[in-house]
Amino acid sequence: MSLEKYNSKRHFDVTPEPEGKKAAAKDKLIFVVQRHHASHLHYDFRLELNGTLKSWAVPKGPSMNPHDKRLAMMVEDHPIDYATFEGDIPEGNYGAGHVDVWDHGTYEPIDEDGEVIKPAEFNKSLHAGNAKFRMKGKHLKGDFALVNMKKDEKTWLLLKHKDKYATEEEYNSEEYAKKSSLAYTEERNKGKKTVKKK
C-alpha cells in the first residue's frame, strides 16, 4: 500500500494531521500505538517498514496477556511523521475525534526462532500473513505476532507471545491511557463533545 490512500482521505488545509510522504530509512525501526477516539474508541497499531507506517486498527487495544487474541484490522499505510501526531481531528474530517500517543519505541522483526531478521524478510512475513517482532516500548515489551485470519487481507490478530514480559493478569490498555485521553472520552460520553461523520 502506498500513501496515496492516506492522502486521498484527508484535507490537509483542514486537518492538523501530517501530509503523507515517504521517509528515509534510519537504523532502528520505530513503532507507535495511538489511542484514537473517533466515531468509536480504538487503538492504532503502527510499525515502520519501507519508509511508511504499516497500520492496524485494534478495537480493544493491545494486550500483554498471551491468552488475548486482539482483532487488528489493517488500514492504509500512514506517513512516518504520523508517529508523533496527537490532537483533535476536526468534525467532518476522516477519523474525526481525538488522537494521543499511547506507546512508542522501536521494534525488531524476528523469525520463528526469535532471531532478528532484516526488514525485507519481515516484509515477506507480512505478505505471508504471519509476522513476528520484538517490541521495546514503555507498555509493550517483548515478542508479538500479527497473524492474518485468511478471511481477507484486512483481518488480523495481534498476539503476545509468552516471555518474561508477558502477564497472566487481565490486561486493559485503558488503564495505561493518558489522563488527557480519558478526559476527552469522559467529555464525549457526557455528550459535551460531539463528533459527526461526514
> Based on CB atoms, which residue is closest to Mn ion, 46 or 132?
46
> Based on CB atoms, which residue is closest to Mn ion, 150 or 196?
196
Contact between 44 and Mn ion by CB under 5 A: the answer reads: yes
> Based on CB atoms, which residue is closest to Mn ion, 9 or 136?
9
DSSP output for 4-40: HHHHHT--TTT--SPPP------SSEEEEEEEEESSS
Cβ-in-10-Å burial (0-12, 13-18, 19+) of 164 comes to exposed
Binding piece for Mn ion, criterion CB under 5 A, among 16-24, 31-39, 104-112, 168-176: 31-39
Q: Per-residue x/- mask for Mn ion, residues 69 to 108, rule CB under 5 A? A: ----------------------------------------
Question: Closest Cα partner for 141 from 181, 171, 100?
Answer: 171
Binding piece for Mn ion, criterion CB under 5 A, among 11-19, 39-47, 58-66, 159-167: 39-47
> Based on CB atoms, which residue is closest to Mn ion, 44 or 108?
44
In the chain, beta strands by DSSP E = 29-37, 41-49, 52-58, 69-79, 87-89, 97-110, 130-136, 141-148, 155-160
Min CB(83)–Mn ion separation in Å:
13
Binding piece for Mn ion, criterion CB under 5 A, among 34-42, 60-68, 110-118, 152-160: 34-42
User: Which residue among 36, 60, 98, 139 contacts Mn ion (CB under 5 A)?
Assistant: 36
Q: How far apart are CA 18 and CA 21, in angstroms?
A: 9
Lookup: cell for 124: 515477506
Min CB(109)–Mn ion separation in Å:
23
Give the residue closest to Mn ion by C-beta. 36
> Based on CB atoms, which residue is closest to Mn ion, 15 or 125?
15
The site that binds Mn ion (CB under 5 A) totals a number of residues, namely 2
Q: Within 13 A of 159's CA, how many CA atoms are on the CB side?
A: 15
> Based on CB atoms, which residue is closest to Mn ion, 57 or 166?
57
Find residue 148's DSSP bridge partners. 156
Q: How far apart are CA 131 and CA 125, in angstroms?
A: 5
Q: How far apart are CA 73 and CA 57, in angstroms?
A: 5
Q: Where on the chain is the footprint of Mn ion (CB under 5 A)?
A: 36, 44
